[in-house]
Amino acid sequence: MKVLTMKYSSLSAALALFLGIVLTHAHAASPRVLLPLEANSLHFQLVHEGHAGAAHASGVVNTIDMAHRKVNVSHGSIKQLGWPAMTMDFPVSADVDLATIKPGMKVNFTLVKGGGGTWTVDTLKASTKQ
């Protein structure tokens, strides 16, 4: 039984060392960090600038639906998601102040995938290039 316990202890230590090296390397190379997707899961996702799985994009706001917290945006390609340039409706996070955005405005925004698989606008700011 001692031999079996030693094997599992060694395996646990090796796994912890490996994960420590991977996390340190990922953090040193960029501001991205690997985090588990779910508790007790060995599947990982990238965390970028404080947003789990965030994708950054820019585009032009066509319409704003304040009542339903949605925006219609014609955006450029979003390489992080493999999306071509297109026009889409997006739900908007409650943290975003829609009063600062007007139709026709060029914007930079961040999309975060919600629990239901829907991409939601998490940040939305006027572009410095109007």
Rounded to whole angstroms, the Cα distance separating 84 from 68 reads 26
pLDDT > 70: percent of the chain: 59
Asked whether the predicted pLDDT for residue 2 surpasses 70, the reply is no
User: Which among 33, 107, 31 is positioned nearest to 72, based on CA atoms?
Assistant: 107
Rounded to whole angstroms, the Cα distance separating 123 from 101 reads 12
Asked whether the predicted pLDDT for residue 71 surpasses 80, the reply is yes
Q: Tell me the pTM.
A: 0.60
**Greatest mean pLDDT range, 14-18, 24-28, 67-71, 116-120:** 67-71
Cα distance between the two ends of the chain: 71
Q: Which H helix or E strand runs over 70?
A: strand 70-75
| Tokens representing residue 53 in the block | 């799985």
**Greatest mean pLDDT range, 2-16, 20-34, 42-56, 91-105:** 91-105
Domain with CATH 2.40.50.320 in the chain: 52-126
Q: Please name the residue that has the structure tokens 């202890």.
A: 9
Beta bridge partners of 90: 71
Is domain 52-126 given the CATH code 3.40.50.10490 in the classification?
no
